[in-house]
A = this chain, B = another copy of it.
Amino acid sequence: METSEITQKLLAAKNKKEKSFADLGKLINRDEVWVAALFYRQASASEEEASIISVALELEQDIFNKLTEYPVKGLGPLVPTDPLIYRFYEIMQIYGMPMKEVIQEKFGDGIMSAIDFTLDIDKVEDPKGDRVKVTMNGKFLPYKKW
């Protein structure tokens, strides 16, 4: 799960400019998670989006090019070892079937799209310890019968 050289350069440029993902997102009217996905080469930018980010971070031409490519997606090993990421794997292991039951009860046989999909992360302040709120929103796709 080595971070690729391009991602490392993008993160280094971002740190140098002291920009948050949200700062960069505002420049191109995108969510911070989507920008982070772009940095990790899990999403592709339009020419215009890539251009605005390149200017803001003073990126080299070949990094600009990479931002507009359609990447081969997926980050790594079958079971992640990083604890933060593993917890999402654990949620799938523990709550996968319960979610399937509830989604099917509400929608019928089908899935939540992970393509026509958005993901937001919010910080919920709490005196007993702040909380991470992750909101996923995907189009329901019913199985087509033919």
Contacts and interface: CB of A to CB of B under 8 A. Distances in A.
Number of copies: 10
Interface of A is mostly: mixed
Max chain B Cβ within 10 angstroms of own Cβ: one of A36, A82, A91, A93: A93
B87 A103 contact: no
Contact of A114 (B21, B94, B140): B94
B31 A146 contact: yes
A64 interface: no
A26 B77 CA distance: 37
Q: Which 9 A-B pairs have the closest CB atoms?
A: A74-B81, A36-B98, A118-B146, A112-B132, A85-B96, A70-B109, A37-B98, A87-B114, A134-B136
